[in-house]
Structure 1
Amino acid sequence: MRMSELSATTVTPVPTLKFYLRERLLHAGERTSPNQSQYDETHVERVRLVRALLEVGGLSVAQAASVIAALEAELPLSSVFGVAQRAVSIPASIAADEMDAEAAPTVGATLVAELCERRGWRVYPNNPGLALAARVLDTYAELGLEGITTAVLEPGADAAQLVAGADLAAVASAAPDTAAMTRIVAVGTVLGDSLLAGLRRIAQEAESFRRFPLPEGAPAPDPLTAAAIAAHLEDC
């Protein structure tokens, strides 16, 4: 197919496709003349992947490129996990913290280390989640909100363990297809964060209605339908 057909198939403007090519997010087509190339289903699949990483996963172009490079390099699954985890948006200041081996342990770092010890979680010290979790706990303390830590740390760890088990079960379901397993690791890690964020927001509102009923006379939400969600998506 020509680029115009690739554009129509993926509902992606031609200038955007050319941008993907320049940034090496999309592999080159087969050159058929000085000004023409042919594209195939691998390009359709790649465009959809790139758009998922950028538009749903919220990655920058550079971060998406690192994930795609990991997919193409046929790295071990553990390495792909690492690349994908670091691609997920973590503030630069926190990413720098994880490399500062000389920094004195903070309250948050101590709490995270103790949590990992209690649960038998063994990870490398450069796992970006360690620095991120520690910074959040330190921030709670700085804001005088230590009670949040007490209330959510263990339940949050329970939820994370459950999700991690589901993530790895999904990877295992693709065995022995290494390429499929790698794709699930990379895409699932990035998009999984967005999925969890969405589900958490749904659950928080639903739980708030259960625990704190609306004032008398206040309109309650109507039962959800797929059509209602789709209509809202079109407005966003």
Structure 2
Amino acid sequence: MRISELSERSGVTIPTLKYYLREGLLHAGELQGATRAAYDDSHLERVRLVRTLVDVGRLSLEQVREVVRAIDAPPAGRHELLGAAHEALRPHPATTAPTADALAQLEALGLPGCDHSPASLQLAHALTAAAASGWTIDPATLSRWLGAMLEVAQTDVVAELGEVSAGEALRYAIVGNVLTDPVLLALRRVAQEAVSAERFGAGSTE
């Protein structure tokens, strides 16, 4: 397809597509002349991926570039692949290191092989930020939250990821997180409303 058709099918303007090409977010098409190139479904899929990461995930173009690089050259191991997905989605590094207390909380969770992973470091930074704002999260609460998230992870880390290509598995992990993180956050809000209504709503004896 010509770039005009790629634009029509993806809903992305031609100037934006050319920008993606210049920035390496979209791989080059097959040259058919000095100023013409042909594109295929892989380009359409990549454009949709970029738009999902930008519009839904609110990732910066630099983060999107890291995601694209990871998908084009993914690690072979499935566990390492998940780490690559988390690294690509991790917020920009914090300006300060996590505190010793936060790292101790992380270690106390007892997650083997995860103490220096991108996700664990993100958690340590989040605990540090919460404590710095005067909101200390006690070990029992953190452990209970972890238990709930492990139940979620049983659904997320499906066995089928071992049967597809490394690039497709990485794409699944990244896009899956981007699209479902807002759902999980909204479910927390809904659950809080439900518990609040039960405890403090009309007819409550508390």
Shorter-chain TM-score category?
0.7 to 0.9
- 2:196 maps to 208
Distance 1:190 1:45 in 2: 16
* Aligned counterpart in structure 2 of residue 128 of structure 1, from 98, 118, 122: 118
Is the 1:54–1:60 contact (alpha carbons within 8 Å) kept by the matching residues of 2?
A: yes
| Matched-pair contact (CA < 8 Å) for 1:87–1:190 | no
- 82-91 vs 28-37, greater mean Cα deviation: 82-91
Equivalent position amino acid for 2:69 in 1: A
Q: What's 1:173 paired with?
A: 160
Give distance in 2, aligned partners of 1:127 and 1:9: 38
Flag the 1:92–1:181 CA change in 2: closer, same or farther, 3 A: closer
Same amino acid, percent of matched pairs: 37
Matched length: 201
After superposition, the CA RMSD in angstroms is 2.6
TM-score, normalised with respect to structure 2: 0.82
d(CA) in 1 for partners of 2:74, 2:130: 40
- Give 1:93 deviation, angstroms: 1.6
Aligned to 2:172: 184
Unpaired segments ≥5 residues, structure 2: none
TM-score by length of 1: 0.73
Residue of structure 2 aligned with 1:195, choices 176, 183, 196: 183
Name the CA distance, whole Å, in 2 between partners of 1:141 and 1:89. Answer: 20
- Aligned partner of 1:126: which letter? H
The one-letter amino acid of 1:8's match is E
Cα distance in 2 for partners of 1:152, 1:26 equals: 44
CA distance in 1, matches of 2:51, 2:201: 40
- Letter of the structure 1 residue corresponding to residue 164 of structure 2: D
Output the amino acid matched with 1:161.
Answer: L
CA contact (8 A) 1:10 1:44 kept: yes
Alpha-carbon offset, residue 150 of structure 1: 5.2
Question: Partners in 2 of 1:91 and 1:205 — Cα distance?
Answer: 32
Match of 2:150 among 143, 161, 166: 161
